[in-house]
A and B are shown apart, each in its own frame.
Chain A
Amino acid sequence: MTFFEGIGMHAGYGASMILNGCSISVDKGQIAVIVGPNGAGKSTAMKALFGMLPLREGSVFSDGRDITQLRPEQRVLLGMGYVPQTNNVFPSMTVLENLEMGGFVRRDDLSQTISEIFDLFPILKTKQDQAAGELSGGQRQQVAVARAMMTKPNILMLDEPTAGVSPIVMDELFDRIIDIANTGVAILMVEQNAKQALQIADMGYVLVQGENKFKDAGTALLNNPEVRQAFLGG
């Protein structure tokens, strides 16, 4: 059994079903990437895995424990971190305060974790007293990821972390994400930039209409002619 997995997930909004039995799993230290066409249910799958959308069928396990019924806040306490696609920082608060709020549930001293995060994202250290809303897109995404890291999660979920940033910044963000995975964190992300994301993925999922269409190692998916043809633009 893998460290974190959602099995046979069915979920939707009202009468429309978005997820029709997709299964996603990721192990510690690995990066799993979900790709797929628009409307395939990628973000919905993330929300379902984090408990922001109730499952109608299927279940979610973390570290062997069934967490299907837990609310998102409870999952944070169990070591899950979530970075939403938009509105993922506190814009009027400084970078440092954003980090403090990320670690709000922790009652112990945060300074150790903060300095570790500043080692990982050096740019944030120089901007720590600046309001997060005044930073560039790429820096703001770093704040968003750093905020979620404050609880020292063992599963980090990223919903399109590179949306709207330049290719250079995207490469840098991916480098940071690899660094985080190397510390033993399980990373699950949804990506619009499928080619680049699959290059760094240990495991890739291609979702279509809320079902797993393909599931393979990232590089294997990149070399799969069918996947290239249909989803990666040749």
Chain B
Amino acid sequence: MIDILNAITLLANYIIVPSLAYGSQLALGALGITLIYAVLRFSNFAHGEMMSFGTMISIFTIWLFQSEGISIHPLPTALLALPFSIIITIMLLLILDGTVFRYYQAQRVQPVTFMIVSVGVMFFLAGFIRFFIGTSQKNFADGERFIIKASQFKQITGLAEGVSIRTTQAITVIVTLVLVTAVFWFLNKTRTGKSMRAFSDNEDLALLSGIKPERVIIITWMLVGALAAVAGTLYGLDKGYKPFVYLQLVLPIFAAAIVGGVGNPIGAVIGGYVIAFSEAFITFAYKRFFTYLLPEEWAPESLVQMLSTEYKFAVSFVLLVIVLLVRPTGLFRGKTL
């Protein structure tokens, strides 16, 4: 019995807790990508850099607060910096929309042209960000590090395995829950949110109904800006900020959006968790897990690891390919690509 509990605790500590946090970060990112796809109809490759920009603004704001001695201990100062980062990221996206994307919208270019434009924006932003903050790793998590440490957990429960929950993990999950709920409430209950969905569903009919495309597009960029700033900051808070990492991050985020059904907001959120959990389940070394569950003489000698952690990204792509082969519209019905 104790062995089973130990095995479960082991999984909770190494898979469930980290994947919930990582999945939340992917879900927020995928939600942003899916909103752009649904309304503006292109795959926004610059999304990772938009997240990176939001994180950079958070870091600058945190440094400012720290030098002024403002903090909300035991919570990380990042929470206090989020509103500023959201506002400035939204401003950046509106400027990009006005100077770059609107030009191509007026020309009614193909989605593929738009995608290439977003790649251009991605490179521009990547350079812009490095120009200000450099390329080195920045850790900006302050406040209390742990909600519960593995050692404390062991002491309380008397198990051989412990679950540690870091403050940043808990904050990630809670902020995601709040933000995702707010976005869904906005999309489903408000007049403006419904007009966004209507525009995404049938652009011509939306025009006939008097819905103004410019307004829908601006609202979309604002939502995306908020989501990108929060997703990026939470990821950086949890794992440390390094501009290069955000370029890679856009890959599992795209996988999440497509696996869930691109253009479908619920799908994007679920897709984020699907990707995070499958990465963790497949790259986890099950040796200790089986040692607990199997009789002693059956205990495995190897690590019992399906793939080493370096192949983490490959997992999301294999999943992506499987979904595209078996169910091209994604787990939840999205638009066909």
Contacts and interface: CB of A to CB of B under 8 A. Distances in A.
Residue among A72, A93, A102, A104 with the most chain B CB within 10 A?
A104
Interface string A76-97: 1100001010011111110001
B144 interface: no
Nearest to B207: A73
Contacts, number: 55
A87 B205 contact: yes
A226 B210 CA distance: 43
Contact of B210 (A84, A88, A97, A105): A105
A90 B208 contact: no
Contacts of A216: none
The interface residues of chain B, by DSSP majority, are classed as helix
Contacts of B197: 90, 92-93, 97
A139 to B, nearest CB: 17
Interface in A53-73: 72-73
A72 B217 CA distance: 20
Contacts of B206: 90, 101
Contacts of A82: 208
B181 interface: no
Contacts of B195: 101, 104
A76 B211 CA distance: 11
Nearest to A132: B201
Contact of B209 (A87, A91, A92, A105): A105
B109 to A, nearest CB: 20
B208 A92 contact: no
A77 to B, nearest CB: 7
B204 A101 contact: no
Contact of A87 (B198, B202, B210, B211): B202
Contacts of A102: 209
Interface residues of A, number: 20
A76 B206 CA distance: 12
Given A87-B202, A89-B202, A90-B202, A97 B194 contact: yes
B209 A76 contact: yes
Interface residues of B, number: 15
Nearest to A50: B208
Interface in B169-199: 191, 194-195, 197-198
A105 B194 CA distance: 13
Nearest to B194: A97
A76 B208 contact: yes
Contacts of A73: 207-208, 210
Contacts of A101: 194-195, 198, 206, 209, 211
A90 B198 CA distance: 6
Q: Which of B191, B202, B204, B209 has the most CB of A within 10 A?
A: B209
B267 to A, nearest CB: 12
A77 B208 CA distance: 10
Contacts of B207: 72-73
A100 interface: yes
Contacts of B208: 72-73, 76, 82, 84
A157 B315 CA distance: 53
B142 to A, nearest CB: 44
B210 A76 contact: yes
Contacts of A42: none
Contacts of B191: 100, 104
Interface in B193-235: 194-195, 197-198, 201-202, 204-211
Contacts of A93: 194, 197-198, 201
A147 interface: yes
A57 B191 CA distance: 39
Given A73-B210, A84-B208, 8 more contacts: A72-B208, A73-B207, A76-B210, A84-B204, A84-B205, A93-B198, A97-B194, A147-B209
19 contacts: A76-B210, A77-B210, A87-B204, A89-B202, A89-B205, A90-B206, A92-B201, A93-B194, A93-B198, A97-B194, A101-B195, A101-B198, A101-B211, A102-B209, A104-B195, A104-B198, A104-B210, A105-B210, A147-B209
Q: Which 9 A-B pairs have the closest CB atoms?
A: A105-B210, A90-B201, A101-B198, A104-B209, A90-B198, A104-B210, A101-B209, A73-B210, A92-B201
